[in-house]
Amino acid sequence: MTTEKIPYKIYLSEDEMPKAWYNVRADMPTKPAPLLNPATGEPCTAEELGHVFCDELVAQELDNDNRYIPIPQEIRDFYKMYRPSPLVRAYCLEEKLGTPAKIYYKFEGNNTSGSHKLNSAIAQAYYAKKQGLKGVTTETGAGQWGTALSMACGYLGLDCKVYMVKCSYEQKPFRREVMRTYGASVTPSPSDTTAVVAYDGVELVVADQPMNTLVMGETELELFLRPDESLLARLGEDYQPAFTATLSNWMEDASDTPDTLVLAVSQEDLAQAEDAAFTWDFNGTVYKKLAASGIDYLVLQVGDQVTALSTAGFAAGGRYTMYRAQGLSSEAFDYHVAMTEEGETTLSVTVAGETWLLTEEEGGAFYYYDVYTGTLEELAQAKEG
């Protein structure tokens, strides 16, 4: 009996391309460990993950039951530009190894990004646009992921900001320019236009460009900006304000080493605010990490109003002491700073499901210290004092 030799390359037709992604979790008898909320140690809820991922991506991340997730037609049409990709029989490798094994590999290099990463990039960009986001910010090493996301964003008309490892930025100019060709802004890191703070071997990259979440290396710090209910009612439930992040020497004399991280609500969002409040949400890990990086103050800015918080700590009180005595770490304290352009500022903290107001009066359940609130001019005067 003879069998036909398997070809070196096996291709599907476009009609045979998959119409759904396979969700391997559905067939795993032991499910992967869930993502944990660093503040509570409990599995993240969909709402918590929504601060980091698009809603549809959150649903997919938490889906343990559905084996197949339909691929939107727009993404399938995009895939046709470089797919189907071939399944290759590695006859030469088998011969060199002298193995009876039959070796196959999937070749995913037949697209501009040079890897499989475009498959995921277009899906992430698609869901970001569908949710109404204006753009995305990412980092890249050698440039494959940055190229993939730049191409996807260019196709969908989204802004794309890429921070590229400086040595790769200089050694791979063609990769850098491909990203720019697709409309992305590419910034070397570190460089004169970025500020870099090392923390446990990870770089915090900030620049004077709007973002939705503070990014530290490959992870996102738990710091978010949210609008009040009146803005959501007027601009829609999908409205998400942005902020800029810059490093400065506000609290010390002129120096080459920045000591202050300034987060400011974007001008576009201020123009729509009409005196509504914006709230900064973050847990204790944020200022602890900044302190370890040499940052002395976290300054939150809404228009001309600022709140400057010491990264050495700014909360105290009887209830605070009780929680710490129970063994709760800084990760368990979720802080909220609500601010308006009119100068109304409210500080509060949520611990173990309870929310407490931070006051100026010492001796209460929670009070704050080493916190400056007021205008930029008043902050400058406090600095001089």
Average pLDDT, the chain: 83
pLDDT tens, position by position, 60-72: 999 999 999 999 9
Alpha helices in the chain (DSSP H): 46-49, 55-61, 73-79, 91-97, 117-130, 144-156, 166-171, 173-181, 229-235, 267-273, 284-292, 318-325, 376-384
Q: Is pLDDT of 203 > 60?
A: no
- pLDDT number for residue 380: 67
Determine if the pTM surpasses 0.75.
Answer: no
What's the average model confidence in pLDDT over 96-123? 92
Virtual CA dihedral for 335, 333, 35, 138, nearest 10 degrees? 40
Q: How remote is the C-alpha of 241 from its chain's centroid? A: 14
Q: Is pLDDT of 2 > 70?
A: no
- pLDDT number for residue 204: 46
Where along the chain do its domains lie? Answer: 9-106, 197-384
User: Mean pLDDT lowest for which of 41-45, 216-220, 281-285, 297-301?
Assistant: 216-220
Q: Is pLDDT of 184 > 50?
A: yes
Token output for 288 = 């602890």
Res. 119 pLDDT band, cuts 50 70 90: very high
Main-chain dihedrals φ then ψ at residue 43, nearest 5 degrees: -55, 140
- pLDDT number for residue 120: 92
Locus of tokens 């549809």: 56
Q: Is pLDDT of 360 > 50?
A: yes
- pLDDT number for residue 195: 47
Res. 197 pLDDT band, cuts 50 70 90: very low
